[in-house]
Chain A
Amino acid sequence: MVDRRHFIKQSAGSLAALGGLALLQRSGLAAAADTTALSGKESLVNLTDRPPNYETPVNYFDAPFTPNKHFFVRYHHAVIPEINASEWRLRIGGDALNSPLEFTLEQLRNDFEQVEIAALCLCSGNRRGLFEPPAPGLQWGSGAMGNALWRGVRLKDVLARAGIDKSALEVSLAGADSGVLPTTPNFVKSLPLAKALDENTLIAFEMNGEALPHWNGFPARLIVPGWTATFWLKHLTALNVIAKPFDGFWMKTAYRIPKDRFPSGQFSSQETETAMPITEIVVNSLITNLEDGQSLPKAKTIDIKGVAWDGGNGIARVDISIDGGVNWQQATLKQDYGRFSWRQWHFAFAPKQPGSYRIMARATSASGATQPLEAISNPSGYHHNAVQKMTIHLA
């Protein structure tokens, strides 16, 4: 453990990229820590090749919206078909639906009201690599997230066309990607009916004004604002309205958290006595223009910049400490793009003298929730929202 930290510290100063690269360094993959290109993607940090998992270097978060070419990529399965939009169909079915339907992309675009929403897409395991002790799973740094403008149609409008039966409990979601072996459980998820019918839950076909990139779910994906990206099914192919809890591996076993350590999951049909699915994003923040261990020339003011977010209450304030948490001062929040978007903030730090400063950032949501000083441990390493702490040296 000492080795890992020591190594990261030593490497940090010389690394241009941030968390992800350091994580690859510590895993002994330094030579492999190139930014292997996926078609249409640039400058992402490679975690795994197949299935492809790539995170965004943190400096790209210093913008209201994350460009598509820099948007992170996360897959569970290696078979990811290139989909021809004109041949794509979305099937709506299930035992709690009156009349099964099938839609083409054009029908979805033309038959329903289109809406656009700014929302943060955040991997449940973002920052897993920061857990101590480590949690098994992809060792993400801080870059398994991105903020985007998503355009599509409301899931509730599409389901209403097919007629929901009063027995409906959940809506299961399936996509076109699959495992290599037929024995591997497909990545199928479900939503409680209330979240599926939320006016903000979309079937999206555009991202930041362009068609969805292949690696982010072309031609259509689900957008579940406020919930972690495990529910944001890519390459959507089938939605089933069902009367019983969906019992596949990816709901019953994976993506679960202990009930006693986190707020209510709003998904009672998938809860057991002790565990529940990870659902709502927890309040969090990230400094985007500085890194731990960085040396800077002492200036009159240093603008500390970052982003803050939560699961849909909106950000009320961000507080910054430059003395390791003894004193806190409020940062200035930038433009509000809606309660599901992250919120940019900045803070003019006026250092009186050269030296080392312990910088911390802490967000508070409109509901009053705030970040803990240490991450809340859980077996799969989800919801890492500890207050960020970094030391910078001013000479």
Chain B
Amino acid sequence: MRTLVLLLSFFAATATAGENRIFLKERPGKNQVVAQCAVCHSLDYITQHATFLDRAGWEKTVGKMINSMGAPINDADKRIIIDYLAQNYGH
């Protein structure tokens, strides 16, 4: 819980006003994507890659965020996020 509060306060501190204009598709999994990905970066990173990342590309990218960038995403959420990205923002 303490970690969560800390994360949310970081998010609030670093999010910019312009980000409010970025909307992801309202499909199952969106909540997990926003909750996990937007901790560290705005969601335009997702839309910018949508034209060319396929499922394998999204798997690699999400894996990089967990393994190299230290995103604390559990296996269940990881699968939900990859499915959402591949289905809604996959090439």
Interface membership of A335, Cβ < 8 A: no
Number of CB contacts from chain A to chain B under 8 A? 89
Q: Who on chain A is nearest to B45 by CB? A: A48
Choose one: B41, B52, B68, B72; the contact of A78 (CB below 8 Å).
B41
Chain B residues closer than 8 Å to A49, beta-carbon distance? 16, 18-19, 22, 42, 44
Q: A181-B71, A183-B70 are in contact. List 6 more A-B contacts (CB 8 A).
A: A48-B41, A49-B19, A50-B14, A50-B16, A183-B69, A184-B40
Using Cβ atoms and an 8 Å threshold, which residues of chain A touch B13?
79
A32 lies within 8 A of chain B by Cβ:
yes
Partner among B50, B53, B61 whose Cβ is within 8 Å of the Cβ of A28: B50
Task: Tell me if B10 and A26 are in contact (CB < 8 A).
Answer: no
Q: Which residues of B pack against A, CB within 8 Å? A: 7, 10-11, 13-16, 18-19, 21-22, 39-42, 44-45, 47-53, 57, 60-61, 68-72
> Within the complex, what minimum Cβ distance (angstroms) separates B23 from chain A?
10
5 smallest A-B Cβ distances: which pairs?
A183-B70, A49-B42, A134-B52, A50-B42, A78-B14
Q: How large is the interface on A (under 10, 10 to 19, 20 to 34, 35 or more residues)?
A: 20 to 34
Please, could you name 13 A-B residue pairs with CB atoms under 8 Å apart, sorted by A?
Answer: A27-B47, A32-B21, A32-B44, A48-B45, A49-B22, A49-B44, A50-B41, A180-B10, A181-B70, A181-B71, A183-B70, A183-B71, A184-B69
Interface residues of A in 50-93 (CB under 8 A from B): 50-52, 78-79
Asked if B51 and A134 make an inter-chain contact with CB atoms under 8 angstroms apart, the answer reads: yes
CA distance A219 to B70 in the complex (A): 29
User: Contact at A181–B44, with CB atoms within 8 Å?
Assistant: no
Contact between A28 and B18, CB atoms less than 8 A apart: no
Q: How far is the CB of A180 from chain B (nearest CB, A)?
A: 5
Q: Which of A27, A181, A185 contacts B51 (CB 8 A)?
A: A27
Nearest-neighbor residue (CB-CB) of B69 within chain A: A184
Q: How far is the CB of A265 from chain B (nearest CB, A)?
A: 22
Instruction: Please tell me if A334 contacts chain B, counting CB pairs below 8 Å.
Output: no
Interface of A (DSSP majority class): loop
Once bound together, how far apart are the Cα atoms of A180 and B13, in whole Å? 10
Q: Are B57 and A136 in contact (CB under 8 A)?
A: yes
Known: A134-B51, A181-B70, A185-B70. A29 touches B40 (CB 8 A): no
A9 within 8 A of B: no
A27-B47, A49-B44, A138-B48 given; A180·B61 CB < 8 A: no
Give Cα A31 to B44, complex, Å. 12
Task: Give, as a whole number of angstroms, the nearest-CB distance from A214 to chain B.
Answer: 14
**Could you tell me if B70 and A184 are in contact, using CB atoms closer than 8 angstroms?**
yes
In the assembled complex, which residues on chain B have CB atoms less than 8 Å from the CB atom of A27?
47-51
Q: In the assembly, what is the distance between CA of A31 and CA of B20, in Å?
A: 13
Residue among B19, B40, B72 having the largest count of chain A Cβ atoms under 10 Å:
B40
Residues of chain B within 8 A (CB-CB) of A253 are 68
Cβ contacts under 8 Å, A295 to chain B: none
Residues of chain B with a CB closer than 8 A to A36's CB: 18
Are A136's CB and B44's CB within 8 A? no
Confirm or deny: A6 has a beta carbon within 8 angstroms of a beta carbon on chain B: no
User: In the complex, which residues of chain B have a beta carbon less than 8 angstroms from the beta carbon of A26?
Assistant: 51
Whether A4 is near chain B, meaning CB under 8 Å from some CB there, is yes
Give Cα A32–Cα B24 distance, bound, in whole angstroms: 13
